Structure 1
Amino acid sequence: MESMRGFFILGLAICTFLLYQAWQKDYGPQPTQQASVSEEKDVTVATEGSISGEDLIDVETDLVKFKIKPNGGDIVYAELKKYNVELNSPDNKVVLFDYRDRMYQAKSALLGQGAPDNQLPRARYETEKSSYKLAEGKDELVLPLTWMNDEGVTFSKTFKFKRGEYLVEMEYSINNQSSHDRTYNFVAELSRDQKPTGLEEKSSFGMKPFMGVAYSPEEQQYEKIDFEELAEEPIKTSRQGGWIGFLQHYFVSAWIPQQDQQINITSSVKQNKDTTVRFVQPTISVPANQQKTIGASLYVGPKDLEQLEAAAPGLDKSLDLSWVWWIGLPLYKMMQFFFSFLGNWGLAIILVTIVIKTLLYPLSAAQYRSMANMRKLQPKMQRLKERYGDDKQRMQQEMMKMYKEEGANPFGGCLPMLLQFPIFIALYYVLFEAVELRHAPFFGWIQDLSVADPYFVLPLLMGGSMWLMQRLQPKSPTMDQMQQKIMSYLPVLFTVFMLFFPAGLVLYWLCNNLISVAQQQYVTKKIERQDAAGKKAAGKK
């Protein structure tokens, strides 16, 4: 049957896409020389030696544990309290910024005559105590760091941490009590090595999560560049507002300037592959005996859509849903809505499937009617095969004539199945990118919808539902034995592929098939009842 061929085309398209995603690699040489960061002057924040954990300022909010280095006031450690590295390992949390056996830091600096970050060692800020914690009942924690140079210019670097947020506000206040005007440049950097994070699970048919730099170029909101590309072609651009960041699976860090500021964005890759992306804001002038402030915000946390949207324009694009974002984003928000009152992401996926199948039902009904009509024509098709089986051309002509006379459409089942392809791919990206589904249980043995079913129960059930769908479809007399054999193996092929897919995606496909079977049976029975009623009425006449 032509609808079976459409099913095969859909399967081939999906498999081709997934194979492309699985084996895609980036090519090109990796230069070893550090890229230039500025034509006018070097604005890279100076890097000091090793960091002692005993000489750091501890800050704890309801969501994150931070460590800040007094020399320079950089954030060198960020531990996400709500996210475990592995399922059922509450003592091992996800760490983004780190200084211990790797390098990943958020630096910010002021450069200029007498500035705290002009040379090594960088200025050591003073603070009231070495440990801060967001108190119960308080919505904000303020950490002030202060330093005064020999000329009488006082620099206050203040961090503000808010309850329930991964966004940190940072502000420099410059109080120039000297007798001379001074100018400064504010620089914000993210620096990290290229070591794997340990969170790059390859549970989705080997799809490798992106890890690299993202930023908002001029007249755009989002662009991502992997480390190899960045080494070959460093970033060098300017724009008003925007943001710069590092992406990894499920998590992101980003510096966000004041959106009315014009910034220069650059990047560099050292010989040891340590990578830096930075922005520099315009020179700020502080006249003698006056005070000015300048600052930025830092996001460090999960790809939480609501918080990303609030943090900066385009930062929500770091939840990368590829070319099907226009489908994926509504699906993602629909799942969030269902989860809000169900409390189970598996049930939310099932409800999303029901909604999708309901919206596509008008098209699907046409497909099912076509199948039912083609099934009624099976005896006539068999007679044509017996009569013209040796003459393929005549056979096709007679069949097309029969289709026209009977008002049947042999291609009526293809379009609805092909329309499911972008929906399938969109949901694939949603399940791969949505941090909410990471370690999210369904029931029983399925404790993580973002990874494959450990006992392969869902893939086997999906294969069984696909086999049932095939059994309900009429066979095409134009298919030879080889074609029919290939089609009969399609459920087996899909089952094998689904063994490696996230359980959430297999759950969607299983529910999709079961609803399709129910809808097909409903339409077929309805047509049979209408035909029986018509024959009965004709008999009375």
Structure 2
Amino acid sequence: MESMRGFFILGFAICSFLLYQAWQKDYGPQPEQEINEQFGQSNTVANSKVETDNLIEVVTDVFKIKIDRVGGDVVYAELNDYNKELNNEQEKAVLFDYRDRVYQAKSALLGTGAPDNQLPRATYQTEQSSYSLQDGQDELVVPLTWANDEGVVFTKTFTFNRNDYEIDVQYKVNNQSNNDRTYNFVAELIRDQKPTGLEEKSQFGMSPFLGVAYSPEERKYEKISFEDLAEEPINVTRQGGWIGYLQHYFISAWIPEQQEQIKVTSTVKPNQDTIIRFIQPTVAVPAQGEKAINATLYVGPKILKRLEAAAPGLEKSLDLSWVWWIGLPLYKLMQFFYSFVANWGVAIILVTLVVKALLYPLSAAQYRSMANMRKLAPKMQQLKERYGEDKQRMQQEMMKMYKEEGANPFGGCLPMLLQFPIFIALYYVLFEAVELRHAPFFGWIQDLSVADPYFVLPLLMGGSMWLMQKLQPQSPTMDPMQQKIMSYLPVVFTVFMLFFPAGLVLYWLCNNLISVAQQQYITKKIERQGNAKAK
């Protein structure tokens, strides 16, 4: 009976999990805010229309970038290794875009005579209109220059490295005037609130998070929806950290030099364009002197190792929620197996085997308890016939029988309860890990991150659950209506699994099949031991 109730608990847990995951994406406007006056600023970085004649194209092995000469902003980012849709090599995933939407990475220097201190912003000069990382070349440098009338030369340099989604951005100020100058560096991400166009089809009403993220000093990571940001703007000061926009599988983030004390603020404009920015302390450049200001722009997939290397806390944007302590080892274990088998589906199966092996001592106790309960079934039936009308007396006699026989009716619950966080953690891994996006298994399953298109895995999973249910000892004390409800659980779970990622259903199917094999092995072992004692 307790084992059957365990299945009911599992159903309740999954339903609660689905409700918990139903993120909402409503929006709300708020008036634009100015950059904090204490940093010497009087205006934000302008959001001017992009003219295609002013664009510089940069092509590396990992992306195609377009930089606007006006202000030197990154206004377009296309990822070479990620298709927008499965099996569509012609159309790549695009993050920053200026064409029919607003999503850009802006940076500016503000101060007397600075390139961004007034409108229109300065138009930088470059030697070329396009740059390309050549074979055998590990680094590509794209310098933009502008000089004011006072003899101050500003060089804004973008440095791209092979197989790297980090873009190094440096302002070098060469002050050949006779006066000391002070400047503030501002980095901001501006984005509309439109869907990215890269979301996979929603599964059972579940949506990936789309919004702002940054690193409060005490927590290193916090994500905020557009709606919440409109109601409560960010206004914090911290050392180092980062700011960014999150979407399914991808992130854009500005990262200051970590020793710098920065001010992080946000704005939701009346048209719902959303800005998150940081501003660094004033930098003094003496007359006839030179200073450099550096920052890093990350634009690309949420790959754990790359995020860990880019900035402290940025790896938390691979959001594994409260089960990160389980999800992270599972994720790394899958990566380890994939490095050998080169198939994420096989890696999931191998992870399932490891999990089941680690839980085997508990599972063995569960199956021994089930076997003992099965042996007691005739006696329980007798108790039901004798005390069927007196439920209190029957419960007392059952507890007495359990004690005499050394049986534990609750022995099967713990391993099942331990499966819940593992199940949820693996869901997060499959939902968040970009490596699983468009990752094939075999045959008809060409994308483990979305539902099985022909529902084969969910049906097999339902069949395996039905088989497990048949192997459970039936309690004679269970109400006939309860028994009937329990008998429908495999059907209910099959319907649930129709909408879950194929990779998650594959895990649950393998988990069930291994459980059946373990249960059969232990049950037969106990039966052999019982027969040997009888002789």
- What TM-score, normalized to structure 2? 0.98
Matched ranges for 1:331-346 at <5 A? 331-346=330-345
Confirm or deny that 1:178 pairs with 2:177: yes
Q: What's the CA shift for 1:43?
A: 5.3
Matched ranges for 1:47-196 at <5 A? 47-196=46-195
Q: What's the CA shift for 1:120?
A: 1.5
Aligned partner of residue 144 in structure 1, secondary structure: strand
Note the alpha carbon deviations across 1:354-413, whole angstroms, 9 max, x for none: 000000000000000000000111111111111111111111111111100000000000
Confirm or deny that 1:46 pairs with 2:45: yes
Q: What's the CA shift for 1:39?
A: 4.0
Out of 35, 38, 42, which is 1:37 matched to?
35
Aligned counterparts of 1:43 and 1:390: Cα–Cα separation in 2: 83
Aligned counterparts of 2:30 and 2:525: Cα–Cα separation in 1: 70
CA contact (8 A) 1:43 1:187 kept: no
Confirm or deny that 1:485 pairs with 2:510: no
Amino acid at match of 1:105: Q
Note the alpha carbon deviations across 1:184-243, whole angstroms, 9 max, x for none: 000001001111111222443221111111001122210011111111111001001000
Report the counterpart of residue 356 of structure 2 in structure 1: 357
Matched ranges for 1:141-540 at <5 A? 141-536=140-535
CA contact (8 A) 2:188 2:254 kept: yes
Aligned counterparts of 1:66 and 1:43: Cα–Cα separation in 2: 30
Q: What's the CA shift for 1:12?
A: 1.5
Of the structure 1 ranges 158-167 and 384-393, higher mean CA displacement relative to structure 2 is found in 384-393
Aligned counterparts of 1:294 and 1:49: Cα–Cα separation in 2: 24
CA contact (8 A) 1:7 1:414 kept: no
Aligned partner of residue 368 in structure 2, secondary structure: helix
Name the Cα RMSD after superposition: 1.3
Aligned partner of residue 198 in structure 2, secondary structure: coil
Note the alpha carbon deviations across 1:59-115, whole angstroms, 9 max, x for none: 001001000011111100000011111101111111100000001110111011110
Aligned counterparts of 2:279 and 2:183: Cα–Cα separation in 1: 11
Confirm or deny that 1:6 pairs with 2:13: no
Aligned counterparts of 1:26 and 1:464: Cα–Cα separation in 2: 37
Q: Which runs of 5+ in 1 are unaligned?
A: 537-541
CA contact (8 A) 2:34 2:44 kept: no
Of the structure 1 ranges 36-45 and 432-441, higher mean CA displacement relative to structure 2 is found in 36-45
Number of aligned residue pairs: give it: 534
Amino acid at match of 1:325: W
Aligned partner of residue 82 in structure 1, secondary structure: strand
Aligned counterparts of 1:169 and 1:73: Cα–Cα separation in 2: 13
Aligned counterparts of 1:453 and 1:209: Cα–Cα separation in 2: 19
Q: What's the CA shift for 1:474?
A: 0.6
Aligned counterparts of 1:490 and 1:271: Cα–Cα separation in 2: 50
Aligned counterparts of 1:506 and 1:37: Cα–Cα separation in 2: 49
CA contact (8 A) 1:236 1:266 kept: yes
CA contact (8 A) 2:345 2:503 kept: yes
Amino acid at match of 1:423: I
Q: What's the CA shift for 1:295?
A: 1.2
Aligned partner of residue 125 in structure 1, secondary structure: coil
Of the structure 1 ranges 118-127 and 474-483, higher mean CA displacement relative to structure 2 is found in 118-127
CA contact (8 A) 2:171 2:294 kept: yes
Aligned counterparts of 1:406 and 1:522: Cα–Cα separation in 2: 22
CA contact (8 A) 1:267 1:275 kept: yes
Q: What's the CA shift for 1:13?
A: 1.2
Aligned counterparts of 1:45 and 1:300: Cα–Cα separation in 2: 22
Aligned partner of residue 409 in structure 2, secondary structure: coil
Aligned partner of residue 217 in structure 1, secondary structure: coil
Aligned counterparts of 1:226 and 1:510: Cα–Cα separation in 2: 35
Aligned counterparts of 2:4 and 2:244: Cα–Cα separation in 1: 47
Report the counterpart of residue 539 of structure 1 in structure 2: none
Amino acid at match of 1:37: I
Aligned partner of residue 106 in structure 1, secondary structure: strand
Note the alpha carbon deviations across 1:391-449, whole angstroms, 9 max, x for none: 11111111111100000000000011001000000001111001000100000000000
Of the structure 1 ranges 243-252 and 115-124, higher mean CA displacement relative to structure 2 is found in 115-124
The share of aligned pairs that are identical, in percent, is 76
Q: What's the CA shift for 1:19?
A: 3.0
Report the counterpart of residue 15 of structure 1 in structure 2: 15
Q: What's the CA shift for 1:151?
A: 0.6
CA contact (8 A) 1:458 1:503 kept: yes
Aligned counterparts of 2:24 and 2:182: Cα–Cα separation in 1: 46
Note the alpha carbon deviations across 1:327-348, whole angstroms, 9 max, x for none: 1000000001101111000000
Query: Compared with structure 1, are the counterparts of its residues 25 and 130 closer, same or farther at alpha carbon in structure 2 (3 Å cutoff)?
Result: closer
CA contact (8 A) 2:189 2:276 kept: yes
Aligned partner of residue 156 in structure 2, secondary structure: strand
Q: What's the CA shift for 1:18?
A: 1.2
Aligned partner of residue 252 in structure 1, secondary structure: strand
CA contact (8 A) 1:174 1:286 kept: yes
Query: Compared with structure 1, are the counterparts of its residues 32 and 482 closer, same or farther at alpha carbon in structure 2 (3 Å cutoff)?
Result: same
Aligned counterparts of 1:508 and 1:522: Cα–Cα separation in 2: 21
Q: What's the CA shift for 1:478?
A: 0.9
CA contact (8 A) 1:46 1:120 kept: no
Aligned partner of residue 268 in structure 1, secondary structure: strand
Aligned counterparts of 2:44 and 2:76: Cα–Cα separation in 1: 18
Note the alpha carbon deviations across 1:114-157, whole angstroms, 9 max, x for none: 10111122111111110100010111101111111111111111
Q: What's the CA shift for 1:26?
A: 7.2
Note the alpha carbon deviations across 1:238-281, whole angstroms, 9 max, x for none: 00100000001110000000000000000101100011000010
Aligned counterparts of 1:36 and 1:154: Cα–Cα separation in 2: 27
Q: What's the CA shift for 1:484?
A: 0.3
Amino acid at match of 1:343: A
Aligned counterparts of 2:424 and 2:278: Cα–Cα separation in 1: 35
